[in-house]
Amino acid sequence: MISVVTGGDRGIGKAISLMLVKEGYNVIFTYRRKEDEAIKTLNELRKYGEAECYKMDVSRWEEVREIFKKIGDVHGKIDVLVNNAGIAGENTEIDLIGIDEWRKIIDVNLTGVFYCCKASLPYLIKAKGCIINMSSIAGKMGGKLGVHYASSKAGVIGLTFALASEIAGKGVRVNAIAPGPVDTELISEEVKEKLKEFSPLKRIAKPEEIAHAVKFLIESEYVTGEVIDVNGGRYMD
C-alpha cells in the first residue's frame, strides 16, 4: 500500500509517517527545507519498512504535479494522501500582516492542499483510496495565530466538504483533522505550559495522538466529509 505525507519529515508529519510505515505502508514523504533532517527521518522510517522522500514546495503547482506524476509512474496508485504540510505566519495582528505574508500562508496551507489533491486524484481513484487534510482548531474558532492562518485552515475544512461530496462516487474518501496545540519542537516550553491552562485535560496533544486519528480515518471506510477534532476538549461541537 502506498501512502504520501506532505511535510512528513518532522513534528506531526513524522509521527504520521512512522505510524504508517509500522502499519505496513510504503511511506513517501515530502519536505521543503532541511535535507539533513529529511534524511534522518528517512533512515528512521526504513528501520520499519519501505520509505522514500522528495523535496517539494506544495505552493508551487509545477513541482507538485511533477512529484506526484513521478510517484504515480513508479507505484501506479496512491492509497492514502495526508496533506500535512503547513506554516504559521510571523505576525498575528491584522495591522502587521503584510499582503505577501497573507498570500504565503494561503498559498501553503490552502492552495497547497488543493494542488496535492488535484495532482494525486488519478492515482487515488485507481486505489479507491482516501485523503486526510490537516486543518486546525483555528479553522473553527479563530485563535491567536492570525486571520491568515485561521482563514487558511477554515478553507481546508470547506475544501474537504466540497471534495468529499464531489468524488465519493469515484470511491475516494476525503476527511480532515482539526488538532489543537501539539507538543512539537516548534513550541517553546514556556508556551507549552501556558497552552495547558486552556485545555480541560490540562495538557497538549502528542504528535502520536494526531497520527492515531489519521489511522482511525484510514480504517473507517464508511466515513467521508468529516472533520475530527483532536483538541482535548478545548473546542466542542
DSSP 220: -
Active site residues: 149
Give helix 147-167 / helix 99-106 axis angle, nearest 10°. 30
Phi first, then psi, for residue 74 (nearest 5°) are -80, -45
Beta bridge partners of 179: 230
CA angle 131, 132, 137 (to 5 degrees): 150
Sign of the Cα pseudo-torsion (35, 52, 86, 237, in order): negative
Task: Give me 109's grid cell.
Answer: 496551507
Q: What is the 3-state secondary structure (H, E, C) of 132-181?
A: EEECCCHHHHCCCCCHHHHHHHHHHHHHHHHHHHHHHHHCCEEEEEEECC
Beta bridge partners of 142: none
